[in-house]
A and B are shown apart, each in its own frame.
Chain A
Amino acid sequence: MSTEPDATVLDANAIAGLLAEVFAGAEMTSASRACQSCGQRRAIGEHRLYRGAGLVLRCPACNDIAMIMVEGDGWREVRTAGFWSLRVPGPAAA
């Protein structure tokens, strides 16, 4: 695809747009995730991003896998691990 080193580790902030696309417009970087390995709760934006054949997000505390995303022709598959907690705007109390 390019000669640039795609495997460089970034964080999920770099794919905030893609995450919004996948999660129906929701802002995911401020969602939090509790890791099933180390128990730490961190914002998705803090998770490390590894780019290879697909995208992998890893826990910033213990590096365990939080999400794997692969794309094919016309489809996208997302697998998540750990406990993801997302708060989105909803109807206000009357």
Chain B
Amino acid sequence: MAAAAPARIVWKMATVVELVEETAHARTLVLDVPDWPGHVAGQHLDVRLTADDGYQAERSYSVASPPEDDRVALTIERIDDGEVSPYLAGELEVGDRFEVRGPIGGHFTWRAAEGGPILLVAGGSGLVPLMAMLRHRARQGSHADARLLVSARALDALLYREELMRLDDARDGLSITYTLTRDRPERWTGYARRVDAEMLEAVGPAVANMPRVFVCGPTPFVESVADHLVALGHDAAAIHTERFGPTGG
């Protein structure tokens, strides 16, 4: 691949081919992007919307689909007073078009060939890029030791719930743990608190096995989890973080 591969940063017109309501607040957009060069799980796509008066708004979204898919899926959480997400996760319809560029980023990525162990820690819709990694892992038939810890406010706010259950049932070296921080169903036996050092130690691969760790979520979540991981003895260089916030609105 050429060093200055400008193809990646050229804006292209994407077409919405499918919409999937994931939760009451999040929706997946399946896009047809012409000449999509393929991506690595964990990478982003920049989206640019242009209003009739020429005003433009740009946002960066993690790709949810695995590299094995021809189409590119984004899962977008609707932020009610946001500028872009109420449109993308609300008004947008199949057949609509908007500009995208990508794939973008290379720090927060994982390839099945890199193997395990890996520890993935998701806060809310921080699950999206980690889901791309798990979908990729499954499609490659990888048995790499992978642990996913998902923190969500409540069960109905959890993205990809049924798919996660199926992935977990495969018993192929992946284990998934949930913590629900606000509302729990009756007889909930999983964790019911914010992610802390004790939880990370119980869920994650042993520090001695030098797992690569990927943490994605709101900034306070990511900072807190990263601090706990360092305190547990994880090498800072093995901890990959990605923060998102209301600017993604």
Binding site for B on A (CB under 8 A): 2-6, 8-11, 13-17, 20-21, 24-27, 29-30, 40, 42-46, 51, 88-90
Q: Are A14 and B60 in contact (CB under 8 A)?
A: yes
Given contacts A10-B219, A24-B4, A25-B4, are A16 and B243 in contact (CB under 8 A)?
no
- Chain A hits for B208, CB < 8 A: none
With beta carbons under 8 angstroms apart, the residue of B6, B58, B106, B244 that contacts A10 is: B244
Q: Are B247 and A51 in contact (CB under 8 A)?
A: yes
The segment from B97-105, B110-118, B140-148 found at the interface with A is B97-105
- Per-residue CB proximity of B228-249 to A under 8 Å, as 1/0? 0000000011001111111111
> Is there a chain A Cβ closer than 8 Å to B9's Cβ?
yes
CA distance A17 to B26 in the complex (A): 24
Given contacts A8-B246, A16-B105, A17-B104, are A2 and B57 in contact (CB under 8 A)?
yes
Closest 6 pairs (CB-CB, A-B)? A45-B107, A29-B107, A25-B4, A8-B245, A16-B105, A17-B46
Range for the number of chain B residues in contact with chain A: 35 or more
Given contacts A11-B242, A25-B6, A89-B2, are A5 and B104 in contact (CB under 8 A)?
no
Q: Are A26 and B105 in contact (CB under 8 A)?
A: no
- Chain B hits for A45, CB < 8 A: 105-108, 240, 242
> Is there a chain A Cβ closer than 8 Å to B81's Cβ?
yes
> Is there a chain A Cβ closer than 8 Å to B44's Cβ?
yes
With beta carbons under 8 angstroms apart, the residue of B5, B60, B236 that contacts A25 is: B5
> Is there a chain A Cβ closer than 8 Å to B194's Cβ?
no
Given contacts A24-B4, A89-B2, A90-B3, are A16 and B246 in contact (CB under 8 A)?
no
Q: Are B249 and A4 in contact (CB under 8 A)?
A: yes
Given contacts A2-B57, A11-B241, A43-B107, are A16 and B4 in contact (CB under 8 A)?
no
With beta carbons under 8 angstroms apart, the residue of A5, A8, A29, A40 that contacts B105 is: A29
**29 A–B contacts from the bound complex (CB under 8 Å):** A2-B57, A3-B81, A4-B82, A4-B247, A4-B249, A5-B246, A8-B246, A8-B247, A10-B219, A11-B242, A13-B105, A13-B243, A17-B104, A20-B9, A24-B4, A25-B3, A25-B6, A26-B4, A30-B106, A30-B107, A40-B236, A42-B237, A43-B107, A44-B107, A45-B106, A45-B242, A88-B3, A88-B4, A89-B3
> Is there a chain A Cβ closer than 8 Å to B71's Cβ?
no
Q: Are B241 and A9 in contact (CB under 8 A)?
A: no
- Least CB distance from B163 to A in Å reads 24
Known contacts A4-B81, A16-B104, A17-B58; can you find 8 more A-B pairs with CB under 8 A? A8-B246, A17-B44, A17-B60, A20-B104, A27-B105, A40-B236, A45-B107, A46-B240
Task: Find the A residue at minimum CB distance from B42.
Answer: A13
Task: Find the A residue at minimum CB distance from B45.
Answer: A17
CA distance A8 to B246 in the complex (A): 7
* CB within 8 Å of A: which B157-201 residues: none
CA distance A29 to B113 in the complex (A): 21
Given contacts A14-B60, A90-B3, are A25 and B246 in contact (CB under 8 A)?
no
Q: Are A5 and B243 in contact (CB under 8 A)?
A: no
With beta carbons under 8 angstroms apart, the residue of A13, A20, A51 that contacts B108 is: A13
- Least CB distance from A58 to B in Å reads 13
